[in-house]
Amino acid sequence: MTTNSITETPEGDLLANINDLEWLDVGGGTRFKVLRLCDITGSWALYVHMAPGARFQAHRHEGTGQFFITKGELIYDVGKAGPGTYGFEPTFAVHVDAHCDIETEMLFLGQGAVTYFDKDNNVDYVFNVKMLRDALAGAQTLDIGHA
Ligand SMILES: [Fe+2]
């Protein structure tokens, strides 16, 4: 079956080419190409584009995250990640400063949810597969750079 240029078999094999997918604007200078969403495991796979100056609001990973930088440089609490860098974000990792100064792109593989906080460190919202699915359907607007 092919949906939105993603090929998936009944067994769950999947092929998604970023060159065939539309960008989803998620605010704060960041856009996603959603490669895979799994309602069973709660995992998600994204190709991420950050414009120069893009920034994520403070957040806590409720599951693991993994990324691979393909372009630019992600700057966050742990350090600077340039092209070719693989990063692992453990469950409950808190990141308060994740941004880029130059155009940056990465593959991001997430598990479960990410809790985003406002300026006063209160929970702003919880990002997960359902939220991404609703955003793709146009039923939800994301603003991960808010606050
Ligand atoms: Fe993070």
Domain boundaries, the chain: 22-136
Distance CA 77, CA 134 (A): 30
The fold for domain 22-136 equals: Jelly Rolls (2.60.120)
Expressed in angstroms and rounded, the spacing between residue 91 Cα and the centre of ligand 1 is 10
Quote the pLDDT of residue 147. Answer: 62
The continuous run of DSSP H or E covering 146 comes out as none
Expressed in angstroms and rounded, the spacing between residue 92 Cα and the centre of ligand 1 is 10
pLDDT tens track for 9-57: 999 999 999 999 999 999 999 999 999 999 999 999 999 999 999 999 9
Quote the pLDDT of residue 4. Answer: 62
Whether the pLDDT of residue 2 is over 60: the answer is: no
Expressed in angstroms and rounded, the spacing between residue 90 Cα and the centre of ligand 1 is 9
Expressed in angstroms and rounded, the spacing between residue 9 Cα and the centre of ligand 1 is 31
Expressed in angstroms and rounded, the spacing between residue 64 Cα and the centre of ligand 1 is 9
Whether the pLDDT of residue 88 is over 70: the answer is: yes
Return all residues near 83 (Cβ < 8 A) that are at least 6 apart.
69, 70, 71, 72, 73
pLDDT tens track for 94-125: 999 999 999 999 999 999 999 999 999 999 99
- Could you tell me the pTM of the whole model? 0.93
